[in-house]
Structure 1
């Protein structure tokens, strides 16, 4: 027999599994530190590539000026400035990435808790249906299995 509450609950579960759950459920196997660390490694490489591209664009933009003053340039100071800029850029962006992935992880965990709660609720509905409408079905379950 169809139970209206059970159908509604199953519909909510299926909707989650097909939309957000497709990406979020596989992430349930990660600890917070693993999830954030893995994404920070990817962010490190992306930030490094982005900074290298920005430096290359600035060098290309100022190429005339650099060629005119090639003999009088202080390459050590330029390298030092580029390196300091990279470290500042990296630290700021890694901090932003850390906070963004932390918020995303907390949000995913919240969705997974709700999903697991609904699964438990559905399981209780099935147990209640199978073993009767008593106090959770434990006594009936024990009699049923010969305990």
Structure 2
């Protein structure tokens, strides 16, 4: 006879493996702090690259009119504005990425725990069945 609880556990385990399994194994292979720090740094590197590419494009598009009436004071003010924008962008993205990746690690760990608990329940069910057979 088919055990409904066993079928449910097996179905839930199969769905988890298909949907989240591989990624969760990679994520939970790191400590939470290491995972969030690494991915935050990667995010900040990409934000830096994107910011400087955007700044270069804006300079190429309107740089001639900017350079015509430039003085040292205007250059310093422009540099301070650009630096301020860059730092504020880094802080916002750094905080957001750190929070996002911490939560992502926590969710992956919770799913992995539930999956392991289901597998241990299945194993206990199989052991009970084998004991009853012999």
TM-score of the pair, normalised by structure 1: 0.78
Residue 94 of structure 1: aligned partner: 94
Of the two structures, which has the highest relative contact order with CA contacts closer than 8 Å and spacing of 6 or more? 2
The CA distance in 1 between the partners of 2:46 and 2:13, in whole Å, is 36
What is the count of residue pairs matched by the alignment?
133
Trace 1:125-140 onto structure 2 (pairs within 5 A).
Answer: 125-132=125-132
3-state SS of 2:11 partner: helix
Trace 1:15-94 onto structure 2 (pairs within 5 A).
Answer: 15-70=15-70, 72-73=71-72, 74-94=74-94
> For the Cα contact (< 8 Å) 2:33–2:102, is it kept in 1?
no
TM-score of the pair, normalised by structure 2: 0.84
The CA distance in 2 between the partners of 1:18 and 1:57, in whole Å, is 43
Structure 2 unaligned residues grouped into runs of 5+: none
| Residue deviations 1:18-62 (CA, integer Å, cap 9, x gap) | 121121123222111011011011111111012112212332332
Residue 3 of structure 2: aligned partner: 3
Moved over 3 A (4+): 1-4
> For the Cα contact (< 8 Å) 2:28–2:105, is it kept in 1?
no
Q: CA RMSD in A?
A: 2.2
The CA distance in 1 between the partners of 2:4 and 2:26, in whole Å, is 30
The CA distance in 2 between the partners of 1:26 and 1:101, in whole Å, is 13
The CA distance in 1 between the partners of 2:7 and 2:105, in whole Å, is 30
C-alpha displacement at 1:2, in angstroms?
Answer: 4.7
Instruction: Please tell me whether residue 121 in structure 1 is matched to residue 121 in structure 2.
Output: yes
